[in-house]
Chains A and B, each alone.
Chain A
Amino acid sequence: MQNNKVLITGIGIVSSLGEGIDAHWNALSVKPEPKLDTENFAPYTVHPLGEVDWNLQIPKRSDQRQMETWQRLGTYAAGLALQDAGIKEDEALCSTMDMVVAAGGGERDLTVDTLILGEGRTSNDRGVMLNQKLSTELRPTLFLAQLSNLLAGNISIVHKVTGSSRTFMGEESSGISAIETAAARIRSGQSTHMLVGSAYNTEHWDMLLGHELGGYLKSDGWAPLWQRQGSAGGGLVTGSGGAFLVLESAEHAAKRGARAYAEIEQITSGQIRRGRDDLKKAVQDMLEKAVDGDEAPFIVSGASGAHEPTTAEKAVLDALPGAAARGISGITGHLREAQFPLAVALAAVAVSKGEAFAPLEKSEKPLDKPVSAAIATTIGVTRAEGAARLVKV
């Protein structure tokens, strides 16, 4: 079996900080201020998407109309990654490119939902009422904007990535396994080049409800990521964004003269039984492996802000005396499925620049040595743990 090096040769990111690598690097290299929307979803605060000109990556209006924001965001970020890798519109490369997308579901029609809830309060037969209202009020193609695998479907349509298309689901875990599987396929020779990533649109009430059913949202405004214990609610401040990567075998990248940001040296993932197994120990074991003996590791943490997993991760990070950790969701918000892809993308940028980005809050330590390796973590709000170790090419 082959043992190929897995390189990151393209990065496409969109978040409240802007779009593209430079916008993110520039924002993160000085102590950035989070961009917040405290009003539209009050009492919740979200990190909103800035102005995006969809036309730049989704030229056909007819395609844009078939999608809601979540799918547009993913298709847009995927386009940025392909462009960054120099693969965009290269028919030969796109038509043989394999794709793994980590996806949740799309936005519901809140007007229809609210109408039905209203009717439901007075209806004698909710079942029949539901049939009538859904049959007459739902926009037929909205279903396609909601289907999980249709983000990948839209990427195929808009960017012509058609080697293969797989969609992983399961909140944060989907982002972890998408990158882990993509890397494993390249390492073993099952694929030569892959597009992998995710997107999340939090600026929609039903997306917020998905978290708050379990009481996970922070409801008293933004606070620095590592200082949310004891605040009202569950600690999560969510963000909208998308992060896609182009992964290639070193040989494939070399053959076409592509530059690489970093090598994915290893990915560790797991899923302990929360509430029964010791999360702190699981994170510690995983990080120990990823740190690989480095005394002053640079760690791009995807910690969500949710109380229990964030406390566990912080305890482990604090016990690594030389470690410089950056909790990115304090600045971008938690991107759920896209959280691990975003953490890996930003870690890759740091490795390629050879330097850490600035502490994002005062409890984070500066790192004065050059960065030749970086670790990206994501610990899911209720399940799944993952870490990647990226090294300089």
Chain B
Amino acid sequence: MTKYTDHLGRPIVAVTGIGVVSSLGQGKEDNWAALTGGRSGIHDITRFPTEDLKTRIAGTVDFLEESTAGAVPLSEKLAALAAEEAIAQSGLPMDDFGGPLFLAAPPVELDWKSRFELDLTTVDEGGPGYELMLASCRKNPNQHFFNTTQFGYISERIADRFGTRGLPITLSTACASGATAIQLGVEAIRRGEADRVLSIGTDGSVSAESLIRFSLLSALSTQNDPAHKAAKPFSKDRDGFVMAEGAGALVMESLESALARGAKILGFLTGCGEKADDFHRTRSKPDGSPAIGAVQAALEDAGLTTGEIDYINAHGTSTPENDKMEYLALSTVFADRIGSIPTSSNKSMIGHTLTAAGAIEAAFSLLTIQTGTLPPTINHDNPDPTILLDVVPNVKREMQVSTVLSSSFGFGGQNTCLVMGAEPVL
């Protein structure tokens, strides 16, 4: 008889649908071919002028009609494409999903195009400013502009389109958001609230203002030329992350419900762990204890020991700070074993997809388990001698793995780790 509960007596969470969009392309097939082929999606920015900017490259998604329509239309489109692929694979009805939605979406504000447009309606009234813009809205409200400032708008549209149930949850835990969306879904299934959940991380928010904000915090790589060489996680000459866009979506179900409807199971979400950092708004506690705590919590939640993790899908942003801290955390938890666990960073190719990163990288982790191919860390020409990781340098590796740890860390002390496996932990 099949056992439907895990080592802690909770419903086992199976993945039955995966969807991905990134600068490498639309869909799992294109993404996986590019990712395992070591191809970079980072390129010169063409969406807006880059004169006078220190960073002029990004992993934007430029191949969609919505790519120039603004952060909200693009983030919505990316989420919808990823969800559509995941739901199609799961075999569930496309317009009647029947479970809750957890959406990691970027915090958005009225974009500059709209601000200028709004200001234009006030030029006859006086000098520029908020009072006149408000007066203009008072006379002529603009529902489209309003929608682009509403954090609940994208999830409402996605919920409506795919027929998810209940009040959708939109969330942000900065660069760990995608992982948190998955964690919330796992928890809902474990509580018995839902037989199935749709978890999505999406981000289509690269704009001049968002790029400049990160740039002013010295977080971005300025090695613009050549663009595809800029993201070099765990390298000695790494100098920052590269902003990027995309979306990842998972359909997760209780094992019992998935088997009952004869669904094909793609893998299992076996553990989630998190720990907040109270040290600094952008920097991690020097001893790495929160990241260490998150990794340990994820392993414990999954019921696995450090000896049972076969591969690590690292956060690996390519910032001096993150990669150093991440190595400290991983080497502390996995001790002597760390050098022999392959640990690669997808961000070397797709850049840092911010809000979407945790979800996209979870999707890639599951594909790693399914295909037996480890995606490489590209641009690894000049290894950081203080980081003794097997980063699967530059070229993919064929190797069957049955358990993967995926880590996500973000500003504001966010640390979330996921464990995925080929088999449930009973």
Judge: A and B partners, yes or no: yes
B residues within 8 A CB of A217? 138
CA distance A125 to B116 in the complex (A): 12
Instruction: Assess whether A213 is in contact with B110, with CB atoms less than 8 Å apart.
Output: yes
A176 at the interface (CB under 8 A from B): yes
Residue contact B116 to A169, C-beta cutoff 8 Å: no
Is A29 interfacial (CB 8 A cutoff)?
no
CB-CB nearest in chain B for A154: B281
Interface segment out of the listed B85-93, B129-137, B197-205, B378-386:
B129-137
A163 to B274, CA, bound (A): 8
List, in ascending order, chain B residues with CB within 8 A of A205's CB. 130-131, 134
Q: A66 vs B280: C-alpha distance in the bound complex, in angstroms?
A: 11
Most buried by B among A132, A152, A269: A152
Q: B169 contacts A177, CB within 8 Å?
A: yes
A361 within 8 A of B: no
In angstroms, how far is the closest chain A Cβ from the Cβ of B313? Answer: 21
**Is there an interface contact between B167 and A113, defined as CB atoms closer than 8 Å?**
no
Q: Which residues of B contact A1 (CB under 8 A)?
A: 10, 191-192
New A-B pairs, 20, CB < 8 Å, besides A99-B276, A212-B141: A105-B107, A113-B130, A127-B51, A131-B48, A131-B53, A135-B53, A138-B213, A144-B282, A147-B412, A149-B412, A156-B277, A157-B279, A157-B280, A161-B276, A162-B413, A166-B184, A170-B151, A181-B169, A215-B137, A382-B150
Is B110's CB under 8 angstroms from A209's CB?
yes
Q: Determine which of A66, A104, A131 lies in contact with B281 in the assembled complex, contact meaning CB atoms within 8 Å.
A: A66
Question: Inside 8 A of A127's CB, which chain B residues have their CB?
Answer: 48-49, 51, 208
Contact check, A113 vs B134: say whether CB atoms are below 8 A apart.
no
Residue from B107, B151, B412 in contact with A153 in the complex, judged by beta carbons closer than 8 Å: B412
Contact present for A168 and B169 (CB under 8 Å): yes
B209 CB contact (under 8 Å) in A134, A156, A163:
A134
Q: What is the CA–CA distance of A376 and B405 in the complex, to the nearest angstrom?
A: 41
Does chain B have a CB within 8 A of A173?
yes
A5 at the interface (CB under 8 A from B): no
Specify which of A135, A153, A166 is in contact with B215 (CB 8 Å cutoff).
Answer: A135
> Which residues of A have CB within 8 Å of B129?
114, 117
How many A residues are at the interface, by size bracket? 35 or more
B167 proximity list for chain A (CB < 8 A)? 173, 176-177, 180, 269-271, 384-386
| B14, CB-defined interface residue at 8 Å | no
Q: In the complex, A176→B152 CA distance in Å?
A: 12
A94-130 interface (Cβ within 8 A of B): 99, 103-105, 108, 110, 113-114, 116-118, 120-121, 125-128, 130
Q: What is A's interface to B at a CB cutoff of 8 Å?
A: 1, 43-44, 66, 99, 103-105, 108, 110, 113-114, 116-118, 120-121, 125-128, 130-132, 134-135, 138, 140-141, 143-144, 146-150, 152-154, 156-157, 160-171, 173-174, 176-177, 180-181, 184-185, 188, 190, 205-206, 208-210, 212-217, 219, 233, 269-271, 273, 380, 382-386
Shortest A214–chain B CB gap in Å is 3
User: Does B217 sit at the interface, judged by CB under 8 A?
Assistant: yes
Is B191 within 8 A of A383, CB to CB?
no
Decide: B52 and A135 in contact? CB cutoff 8 A: yes
| Chain B residues within an 8 Å CB radius of A130 | 48, 112, 208-209
A271 touches B159 (CB 8 A): yes
B63 beta carbon closer than 8 Å to chain A: no
Q: A113-B115, A120-B116, A157-B279 are in contact. Are A184 and B274 (CB under 8 A)?
A: no
Q: Are B216 and A190 in contact (CB under 8 A)?
A: no
Select one of B52, B134, B160, B213 contacting A143, CB under 8 A.
B213
